[in-house]
Amino acid sequence: MSNSQEAAGSTTGVDIQLRSIEKRYPGQARPAVQELSLTIPAGEMVMFVGPSGCGKTTSLKMINRLIEPTSGSITIGGEDITRSNPTELRRQIGYVIQGGGLLPHMTVKQNIGIVPGLLGWSKKKIADRTDELLDMVGLDPSVYRDRFPRELSGGQQQRVGVARGLAADPPVILMDEPFGAVDPITRTRLQDELMSIQSELRKTIVIVTHDIDEAVKLGDRILVLAEGAEIAQYDTPEVILGAPANDYVADFVGAGSKLKQLTLMRVSDAELHQPSICRVGDKVSEVIERVSAEGNESVMILDDRDRPREFLFLRTLRKWDTVPAIDPENAPIVDHRATLNDAMDQMLESSHAAVSVTRRGKFIGNVYFDSVTALLRQSQDNATASTEEEGQS
């Protein structure tokens, strides 16, 4: 039995301790992460959830020092990682990101073999390990090992990303929105595979997710964060759902059940925002001047038939001289008759806080994440009010 094949179910992970971790980004008034202290027990899968910008990713990346903490200490398996060499540290920690993050010019086998190669494993050992991992994530090695990432679907790329994270058999694996970029069916499958892999390997796995359902499904524990990575609650899914520590947590986890209401409401019920617009082929310098004068930082690119292409930050647009005809394939776009659930799905899948709304293909405005949540709150308030009325009558 190789060292990567411990007896099924025995813990191969080690615990992670964060003590008074703080991260201040230059130029920010408040720290992104303030005084975060946390123990992640060996062999557990811990989910970081919380609203956008609350510091989930920053907290995660401090564990492998992709981001250096401003102060505080982190130990992994009892060792203070702030004293270790960051490059070596990262070889001992698996890291999986949204979309898989595969290197496009390398085959599947080469991608999976990167860290083992750096660790000096023999070619034979790397090849055996690659095949073992491809099997584990549900890809036939003989079919997929020599393919390039572009020859794989999004879900397959994500699977290879997970295999790569596991490659050198690290005790700790960090995942940042690992299944955020795949369709719901593939996501469910990947979650199921991860659960079955974990039941065998018992690594220490930390996952950042936007999806409370995913957190409840996968997590041994869920860390609910508020702004500044303040711990709102840290407990098992059962306790978080059954006994939320405060209104903040109740609101946050309740959003899952409230999502059902979203399938009853239409995009046309939400507030439509009119952003600044520009056309494919416009001169970028003129667009930036005009849009800045309008007080906006982003601009909607339309084609000559008023169809949306992409909603871009001006700072991104600066890369070009004339407004490019960006392929809208991955842009979040919905018809005005779509449900708010579709709109939310699109936003979450594309990691955009807005979705472009069209009528017969033409752009009619943007709906923002905040408008959708406002609508939800309103419908919940209405529901509460009507329940109270019923109680009084």
Ligand X SMILES: Nc1ncnc2c1ncn2[C@@H]1O[C@H](COP(=O)(O)OP(=O)(O)OP(=O)(O)O)[C@@H](O)[C@H]1O
Asked if 64 touches ligand X (CB under 6 A), the answer is no
Rounded to a whole number of angstroms, the minimum distance from the CB of residue 32 to ligand X is 3
Asked if 56 touches ligand X (CB under 6 A), the answer is yes
* CB contact set of 55 (below 8 Å; sequence gap of 6+): 23, 32, 33, 36, 225, 227, 228, 229
Nearer to ligand X, 67 or 265 (CB): 67
**Alpha-carbon gap, residue 202 to 102, rounded angstroms:** 25
Asked if 58 touches ligand X (CB under 6 A), the answer is yes
Nearer to ligand X, 32 or 302 (CB): 32
Asked if 315 touches ligand X (CB under 6 A), the answer is no
Q: Which stretch binds ligand X (CB under 6 A): 24-32, 74-82, 86-94, 166-174?
A: 24-32
Distance, CA of 96 to chain centre: 10
Other C-beta atoms lying within 10 Å of the C-beta of residue 267: 25
| In contact, 150 and 180? CB cutoff 8 Å | no
Asked if 65 touches ligand X (CB under 6 A), the answer is no
Q: Which of 14, 16, 18, 32 binds ligand X (CB under 6 A)?
A: 32
Other C-beta atoms lying within 10 Å of the C-beta of residue 166: 22
Please tell me the count of residues contacting ligand X according to CB under 6 A: 11
Q: Which stretch binds ligand X (CB under 6 A): 25-33, 103-111, 212-220, 318-326?
A: 25-33
Nearer to ligand X, 31 or 308 (CB): 31
For ligand X, the binding residues in 287-306 under the rule CB under 6 A are none
- Name the DSSP letter for residue 306: S
- Residue 204 sits at φ, ψ, to 5 deg, of -95, 115
Distance, CA of 229 to chain centre: 16
Distance, CA of 206 to chain centre: 12
Please, what is the Cα angle at 212 between 204 and 370, to 5 degrees? 135
Asked if 172 touches ligand X (CB under 6 A), the answer is no
Asked if 206 touches ligand X (CB under 6 A), the answer is no
Nearer to ligand X, 58 or 111 (CB): 58
Asked if 57 touches ligand X (CB under 6 A), the answer is yes
Q: Which residues bind ligand X (CB under 6 A)?
A: 25, 28, 32, 50, 52-58
